[in-house]
Structure 1
């Protein structure tokens, strides 16, 4: 006798379930695009490609988040635990900025551990919203650390830019070579050379006349 009541209750629950589905879909649409899925840490090629395009690769725990009002930009304070690439110091705090798409749900939460792939910019250390942060649900375990060390050992460091050439500087000599000769001295020297030349021609002409 109770079966009709159970069936009626089940039928009444169906519309509620159907109404809940659009809400879940809108939450997914408000997140990051599908192509921005986190990097698979078991895929060496994916990890190496992401690391090769980054200046810094390090793992740490997010201690605080400071959003910028009116934008999707959030600054994170990260306690760095391990560094594989770059000059982010281990055991210190690093300021990492992520510019999330407006309307999306930030994929980084304070109190959790992440692997960061970042770039060094004039504004500071920046992680891309698409793949720049990879969650470490169990933290940086020895197994994960060893795997990343083995993967990233084959990644070449970024090329070091050549230093700019030093400007050429002209200096005045410490001891001047002396004043230039006066014009009178130059003319006198020229006159003496001309006179010697004339005397030589006269001597040659006289010797030529004395010959039979």
Structure 2
């Protein structure tokens, strides 16, 4: 049940990101070339997208140097990684524990079946009961394996999506940084400092 809920949450998250993020990123980069302030305002309309939060972390800084801008992008991107990889540890635990719990259920079921077995008075009814008991015990192992396999498939899917999204974020961050460097102007030196330098 836990696995179903977590898988549903991740599917909803990745569906939303996949539907919006790439197109949103291209729109923001195009807008930033023409109107940086307009691009910032547009970013604020999508606070649920990782790329919007990353871009905003750098763009809202007051007149950062290119190095500061790059550091802000990198720091924000690192902060988004736990969100992209959310529940990975839980999925790994479910994948590992489910078969073991199923096997434990099977062993306990078999023990219960054999304890109730009366070897001195075997009847057709008792034999059928033993067979049914063994079958029910094996269901635990089968259920554990099914849960582990299904969770493994979705966990691998989510890991792949997280890797692709990380590459997309790095690429988009690099493009935004290039645009910022092209538009960056070194602040003019104050007049009195310039005069002191000329005097020396």
Q: What's the TM-score, normalizing by structure 2?
A: 0.22
Q: Specify which structure has the higher proportion of helix.
A: 2
Larger Rg: 1
Q: Taking CA–CA contacts closer than 8 Å with sequence separation of 6 or more, which of the two structures ends up with the larger relative contact order?
A: 2
Q: What's the TM-score, normalizing by structure 1?
A: 0.21
